[in-house]
Structure 1
Amino acid sequence: MSLGPFTKSGALSIGVELELQIVNRHNYDLMPCAPDLLRLLQGRKLPGVVTPEMTESMIELATGICTGYDDALAQLTEIQGALVEAANKLDVGLAGGGTHPFQHWAQQRIFDKPRFLQLSELYGYLSKQFTVFGQHVHLGCPDADTALYTLHCISRFIPHFIALSASSPYVQGEDTGFHSARLNSVFAFPLSGRAPFALSWEDFERYFDKMTATGVVKSMKDFYWDIRPKPEYGTIEVRVMDTPLTITKAARIAAYIQTLGAYIQRERPFEPQEDDYLVYTFNRFQACRFGFDGTFVDPATREHRTLREDLIRTLVRLEGHAADCKSDVALRELLADVSVRGNDAEWIRKVFVREHHLPEVVRQQAGRWMD
């Protein structure tokens, strides 16, 4: 199968996708209610779409093409309103968070859709364990080579996105010690991790042709990379974020990615190298495990600093581009998270320390998302 041409898109346009938990309002366990939610939303005019995900206790919303932070937040708010209305009719809750704190994977049902059933047949129990919830952000690129350049530059900031969005400290009723345990489930898939180092679309097409020739992949959907090009949209898709607990946080993270894209595409601050990836997995792990307190190794200088320090440096450096992108308010709020408030994983842990009851934690998570 051919990769196809790289579609022209608006440079630095963004799109946001959020996978949500559907929960029972009695015990706050996951509830297989996606088919009913989708039925209630059928025919409703929205700025984006709501679609099924791997299991029936998940649902995904996606905006249309957004110009920036205000547009993304407006679209997310409208879709959220429709979802909350449908959920209330069914007496179910909707929640953010990268993992459900106490659901058991064996109880999940695969959504009855050919692709999901094929994946279940291929990956076995991993498919049900893939009941985890992420945010994906698409960033528009003017051409294919710019897309690959942006992809490899923005890979340096993957730990930032993980720490900012982290919201999955509990799995199967246990505190994992991680801020983002969700990515451990993603990493179990054989085609996960980082994209191959290719800076020209011609080189990437050769790689793709070799992979399809093996019979291992049929399309870009078969790659679960942290960032992957999406030629049919003319974007790169950043996929490492946990679903935040609020749509406002999700829109702020999307604004940060857009602003980084502006910095990278306009200034071309460095030329990515294969050796940049020597510390990639280490930095990624540190962000998952320790959040803002993780160690960050600068891929260019080999300097060690905390992820918090690197985030603050970067957010300050982006102030001019943030003003241009009208994302300055969003980035100031993220700076407050890094400096003072902490991330959603820390909030979830604080609620559990106070309540000593994971269903109550989920009830409050659902309250935050649905409000």
Structure 2
Amino acid sequence: MALEAFTTSSALSLGVELELQLVNTHDYDLAPYAEDMLRLMRAQKLPGSVVPEMTSAMIEISTGVCHSSAEVLSQLAQIRDALVRAADRLGIAVCGGGTHPFQLWHERRIYDKPRFRELSALYGYLSKQFTIFGQHVHVGCPDADTALRTLHRMSRYIPHFIALSASSPYVQGHDTAFDSARLNSVFAFPLSGRAPFVTRWSDFEAYFDKMTRTGVVKSMKDFYWDIRPKPEYGTIEIRVFDTPLTVERAAALAAYVQCLGAWFMRAEPFEPHEDDYLVYTYNRFQACRFGLDAIYVDPGSGEHLSLREHLLQSFERLAPYAQTLDATAGLALLRESVERGHNDARWLREQQQSAQWLGEVVRQAGRRFRADAR
């Protein structure tokens, strides 16, 4: 199967996908209400889409093509409000967060869709363990070679994305000591991790042809990379974010990606290099484990510094791009949380410390998701 041609898209356009939890309102465990939720949502006229995910207590919402993070927020808020109304009719709640704190994977049901059945047959119990929840951000690229070069430049900021979005400290009822435990589940899949280091689309096409000849890969969907090209959309797709607890934070993360994309495409501040990946997995682990308290190894200089310090430096560097892209408010939201050393994982732990019951943590997360919903 040949790789799809890289579609022309508007440079720095945005698209956001959020995987969300459906929970009951008596003990706040996951509830298999995806089919009912989708039925109610089909009656709504909304931007973007609402679709099923791997197991029946998950749904995925997505925006249409947006040109600013403010537009992303507007679309996500409309979908959020409709979800909350539908959930109230069903007597359930909708939550963000990268993992459900205490759900048991063996109790999950695979959603009845051909691709999900195929994945379940291939991956066995890993499919049910894939009841995890992420945010994906697409950023438009003017051509295929720019997409690959932007992808490799963006790889230096994978730890930043992880720490800013981390919201999965609890798994199967236990505090994992990770801020983002979700990505440990993603790493179990054989085609996860990083993309190959190629900077020309012709070389990527050759790589894809080799992979399809092995029979391991049929389409780009089979790659679970942290960042992957999406030629049919003319974008690169960043996949390491945990789903935040609010749509406001989701839009702010998209603002950060868009500003980085502008810096990379317009200023070309450094040449991507294969050696950038020498510290990639270490930096990724640090961010998953320690969140904003991680140590970051700069791939260019080899300098060790706090990730929080490097994040604050990046906000300063991106300020001019934020002004032209109307992204200042989004970066300000993230900056404030970094200065406080506070992400969603820390908020969830604070709720547990107060309530001493993970069911109450989920209830509060549901309230936070709907806080401004009408």
- TM-score (norm: length of structure 2): 0.99
- Provide the C-alpha distance between the structure 1 equivalents of 2:40 and 2:331, rounded to a whole number of angstroms: 36
1:172 maps to 172
Aligned counterparts, 1:28-107, within 5 A = 28-107=28-107
Letter in 1 for 2:41: L
Q: Distance in 1 between matches of 2:368 and 2:41?
A: 22
> Take 1:77 and 1:68, find their aligned partners in 2: how far apart are those partners?
14
Report the equivalent of 2:307: 307
| 2:369 paired residue number | 369
Letter paired with 2:204: F
Give the unaligned 5+ runs of structure 1: none
SS state of the match for residue 21, structure 1?
A: strand
Equivalent residue number for residue 12 of structure 1: 12
CA distance in 2, matches of 1:169, 1:56: 22
**Which of 102-111 and 335-344 deviates more?**
335-344
Aligned AA (1:74): S
How is 1:147-296 mapped onto 2 (pairs within 5 angstroms)?
147-296=147-296
SS at 2:237 equivalent:
strand
The amino acid of 2:301's aligned partner reads: T
Is structure 2 residue 360 aligned with structure 1 residue 360? Answer: yes
1:75: how far off?
A: 0.3
State which drifts further: 81-90 or 299-308: 81-90
Q: 35-44 vs 45-54, which deviates more?
A: 35-44
Matching residue's letter, 1:312: L
The structural deviation recorded for 1:94 is 0.3
Aligned in 2, Cα 1:309/1:341: closer, same or farther, shift over 3 Å? closer
- Report if aligned partners of 2:102, 2:174 keep a CA contact under 8 Å in 1: yes
Shift of 1:243: 0.2
Q: Which residue of 1 aligns with 2:346?
A: 346
2:296–2:307 contact (8 Å) kept in structure 1: yes
Identity across aligned pairs (percent)?
A: 64
C-alpha distance in 2, partners of 1:83/1:211? Answer: 40
Aligned counterparts of 1:192 and 1:65: Cα–Cα separation in 2: 26
How far is 1:312 from its partner? 0.5
Alignment-mate amino acid for residue 273 of structure 2: Q
For residue 88 of structure 1, what is the amino acid of its counterpart? Answer: D
Residue 15 of structure 2 aligns to a residue whose secondary structure is strand
1:43 is displaced (CA, Å) by 3.9
The aligned counterpart of 2:327 is 327
Q: d(CA) in 1 for partners of 2:312 and 2:370?
A: 30
Deviations 1:198-229, CA, capped at 9 Å, x for gaps: 10000000000000000001000000000000
Report SS of the residue matched to 1:318. helix
Partner of 2:116: 116
Q: SS of 2:279's equivalent?
A: helix
Cα deviation per residue 1:228-282 (whole Å; 9 max; x = unaligned)? 0000000000000000000000000000000000000000001100000000000
When structure 1 is superposed on structure 2, of 38-47 and 60-69 the one drifting more is 38-47
Q: What SS does structure 2 have at the residue aligned with 1:258?
A: helix
Q: Tell me the equivalent position of 1:139.
A: 139
Letter of the aligned partner of 2:78 in structure 1? E
Equivalent residue number for residue 316 of structure 2: 316
Code of the aligned partner of 2:336:
A
In the alignment, the residues of structure 1 paired with residue 341 and residue 278 of structure 2 have an alpha-carbon distance, to the nearest angstrom, of 31
8 Å Cα contact 2:246-2:369 kept in structure 1: yes
Write the distance in 2 (CA, Å) between the matches of 1:69 and 1:299: 29
The one-letter code sitting in structure 1 at the alignment partner of 2:85 is E
Q: CA deviation at 1:44?
A: 2.2
Quote the RMSD (CA, aligned, Å): 0.6
CA distance in structure 2 between the aligned counterparts of 1:234 and 1:45, rounded to whole angstroms: 26
Range moving further from structure 2, 118-127 or 75-84? 75-84
Instruction: Give the partner amino acid of 2:328.
Output: D
Following the alignment from structure 1 to structure 2, what is the Cα–Cα distance between the partners of residues 85 and 333? 27
Please report how far the alpha carbon of residue 329 of structure 1 lies from its aligned counterpart in structure 2 after TM superposition. Answer: 1.4
The residue type paired with residue 164 of structure 1 is L
Measured in 1, the distance between the counterparts of 2:142 and 2:129 equals: 37
Mapped to 1, the partners of 2:137 and 2:267 lie a distance apart of: 21
Q: CA deviation at 1:341?
A: 5.3
Counterpart position of 2:129: 129
Distance across 1 between alignment mates of 2:62 and 2:335: 26
Cα deviation code 1:114-138 (max 9, x no counterpart): 0000000000000000000000000
TM-score, normalised with respect to structure 1: 0.99
Displacement of 1:167: 0.3
Partner AA of 1:202 in structure 2: S
Deviations 1:63-107 (A, max 9, x none): 000111110000001111111111111011000000000000000
- The one-letter code sitting in structure 1 at the alignment partner of 2:307 is L
Which residue identity does 2:252 align to in structure 1? R
Q: CA deviation at 1:311?
A: 0.3
